[in-house]
Amino acid sequence: MRKPVRIFEVAKEAGVSPGTVSKVLNGTQRMAAATEARVWKAVSKLGYQANLHAQILSTGRSRALGIVILDILNPHFTALVKGSGQVATERGYTVLLADAEENPKREQELIQSLRARTDGLILAGSRLTDQEIACLHSPEQPIVTVGRRIAGVPSVTVDEYTASLQLASYLVGLGCQRILYLAGPPFWVNQERERGYRNALEQAGLTPQVLSLTSPDLLGGEQASALLWTMQPFPDAVICYNDLAAIGLMASLKTLGVRVPQEVAVVAFGNHPLAAHLSPSLTHMEIPSRRLGELAVGLLVGLLEQPQEEPQPVIQYAVLRPRESSRIG
Amino acid sequence: MRKPVRIFEVAKEAGVSPGTVSKVLNGTQRMAAATEARVWKAVSKLGYQANLHAQILSTGRSRALGIVILDILNPHFTALVKGSGQVATERGYTVLLADAEENPKREQELIQSLRARTDGLILAGSRLTDQEIACLHSPEQPIVTVGRRIAGVPSVTVDEYTASLQLASYLVGLGCQRILYLAGPPFWVNQERERGYRNALEQAGLTPQVLSLTSPDLLGGEQASALLWTMQPFPDAVICYNDLAAIGLMASLKTLGVRVPQEVAVVAFGNHPLAAHLSPSLTHMEIPSRRLGELAVGLLVGLLEQPQEEPQPVIQYAVLRPRESSRIG
DNA sequence: AACTATTTGGAAAGCGCTTTCTAAATCGCT
DNA sequence: AGCGATTTAGAAAGCGCTTTCCAAATAGTT
């Protein structure tokens, strides 16, 4: 059991004071070249590694960022994490990740825990109230939300309204008459998507029809098929809140003997890596999840390093990827 | 900008010393009921939250666990994380997650970073050498590996050899004659799977044939189809290192006009959530990823709390899930 | 009532690093 | 050679909490 080396021992080895070692290591103050050399030599000889917590306690900064995601099984969030990691590394930060498991109580705990360990937090897919999130944000411990717009809180979002308008219009263009929207949880993203959907349908003179998913995942999609089944008349197109739900729905429809897209087209929002590999492959509005992660980190680091600047909300756009699940006529 | 409350101010408010507050909060030493009440009252009045880093610096323990996973886009690892989170919470630990992005250099950095922040680490799908990992393990900072058996390092693994033997035997039983194994990276898991595969084929009097995936993911699977294409004679079954590769392969075969399972059966190891939703649905040896995460945390916490005990390697078993991709004859 | 055992709570020494402040040493000029 | 300007490096005061040790107060016992 070798005890970790402390700065004191390095100082001794190099024949200088601990303060000097600290300054050399952090480049805080120039020292004579000879002194610096002795310090570096001692450091590598003893294999010195500064105690992180002492450092943080002393400086008040951890050079770590926290990300709390709604559900690690959802590819949207994992792609987002992928994007965040790279940018964070470039900017000299470590990313600490936590999975809220779609549970607000757990989310609160994780936020507390990560907050104590990091300089700032990214909330992707939060289930907290706007109030709760707004309270958390402060210049010293900034919060960046992804997929949620809250007054006073910096955010990175997709223009969901336009994306949804475009997706619904696409279906209208294909000649669909009875377009159903399978809604997700009642947060910002869903509100925007629903609004875009309704507007598109009204513009086309069609009647919006909204059903709520029991959950925004495979299971929710599977369960939705039961609801669809009872609908009279049967819809000729379904827009799903996310691609997980669409995949569940399509699987379930197949067992019910309903053919996609011949009897009903199925489209969704998302960027599931298998969307193109399914049969039928899935038409979706591609959400740039990875890019959202990159931008969120960029924004957060900006807030940490230029605290004075008022950040503008960052907005990205989704791209329509037509595939077989909407290949009609 | 409200400065966080310090223990000193709580002490003042309650009319006691900081040491007393600490003891009450941590239940380290019994105090008179009246005193405890005053302390609790002061704490909630001021909204006191102990500074984590001061605490860690002082006690030397962080009550956090680190998990480094190979690739957050791979469902095997995300399921594993899901399992770990719950158990960790039960045992009073926070999980800090990091994604190595299949990059050994990055993995090393993340390990260093997490090591400094946690009491112990779980390495799931490491790309480091046995040497490197063995060096990291110590009673004070234990390491638990998942999917890797290294002398002296506690581990949680699946009996991959038996799983592979069983999977290959299943194909033999179906009458397959030319069974190809698409190998993953040359680490423990793949070695065991390849060994099981070879043994099963030799027992059946068949000739093993192994090709290596360029990467153990969708892309690797897609690229493998090109290799298959040139094979003479064409295999009648392919065992893929993981289900991601199988999915990529099947998609690619479809575009080449090769029918699965009629012309070639495709099976894999894994527990991809969509395995049953694809068409054809994918036969695999189901790896209990989530359970591995639960067990790894259990093992690690055990090591932290009963340092004297010598841990036994934990072994789990895979389950065969026959589906359409091997529905022959 | 006297004396020992037990509670109760404070003082203070860390934990390991950073950073300010200052003194000593060196340098550049005239 | 002498003086101010600049380097160079150490001393020491934190950062905020825990924990050991010890004294005072209280309870228990004969």
Interface of A with B in 111-130 (CB under 8 A): 112-113, 116-117
Percent of chain A with pLDDT strictly greater than 70: 99
Q: What is the mean pLDDT of each run of 10 residues along chain B (329 residues)?
A: 85 94 93 93 95 96 97 97 95 96 96 96 97 94 96 96 98 96 97 98 97 96 93 93 97 93 97 93 97 98 86 94 91
- pLDDT tens-digit map of A236-270: 999 999 999 999 999 999 999 999 999 999 999 99
Chain A within 8 Å of B78 (Cβ-Cβ)? yes
Which nucleotides in chain C have some atom under 7 angstroms from a protein Cβ?
7-12, 14-20
pLDDT the model gives residue B309 = 75
Q: From residues 23-62 of A, list those within 7 angstroms of strand C by Cβ.
A: 23, 25-26, 28-29, 48, 50-51, 54-55, 57-59
Q: Residue B30 CB closer than 7 angstroms to strand C?
A: yes
Cβ-based contacts of A279 with chain B (< 8 Å): 254, 278-279
Read off the amino acid at residue A107.
E
A17-21, A158-162, B310-314, B321-325: which range is least confident on average?
B310-314
pLDDT band for position A18 (50/70/90)? very high
Chain B within 8 Å of A282 (Cβ-Cβ)? no
Cβ-based contacts of A99 with chain B (< 8 Å): 81-82, 85, 97
pLDDT band for position A12 (50/70/90)? very high
pLDDT the model gives residue A108 = 96
pLDDT the model gives residue A2 = 63
In the structure, how far is the CA atom of residue A104 from the C1' atom of nucleotide D24, in angstroms? 49
pLDDT over 70 at A329, yes or no: no
Q: In chain B, which ranges are E strands?
A: 64-69, 94-99, 120-124, 143-146, 155-158, 179-183, 209-212, 237-240, 265-270, 283-286, 314-316, 319-321
Measured between alpha carbons, how far is B246 from B186 in angstroms, rounded to an integer? 18
Specify the pairing of strand A283-286 against strand A319-321.
Answer: antiparallel
pLDDT the model gives residue B2 = 63
What structural domains does chain B harbor?
A: 7-50 (1.10.260.40), 64-158+289-317 (3.40.50.2300), 160-287+320-326 (3.40.50.2300)
Mean pLDDT of chain A: 95
> For residue A68, which of A106, A31, A34, A42 has the smallest C-alpha distance?
A106
Nucleotide at minimal C1' distance from the B57 CA: C15
- pLDDT tens-digit map of A70-114: 999 999 999 999 999 999 999 999 999 999 999 999 999 999 999
Q: Sign (positive/negative) of CA torsion B300, B302, B306, B310? A: negative
| Interface test mutation site (partner B, options A5, A7, A51, A53, max chain B beta carbons within 10 A) | A53
pLDDT the model gives residue A207 = 96
Measured between alpha carbons, how far is A136 from A129 in angstroms, rounded to an integer? 11
DSSP string across A17-62: -HHHHHHHHHT-S---HHHHHHHHHHHHHHT----HHHHHHHHS--
pLDDT band for position A146 (50/70/90)? very high
Radius of gyration (C-alpha) of chain B in whole angstroms: 25
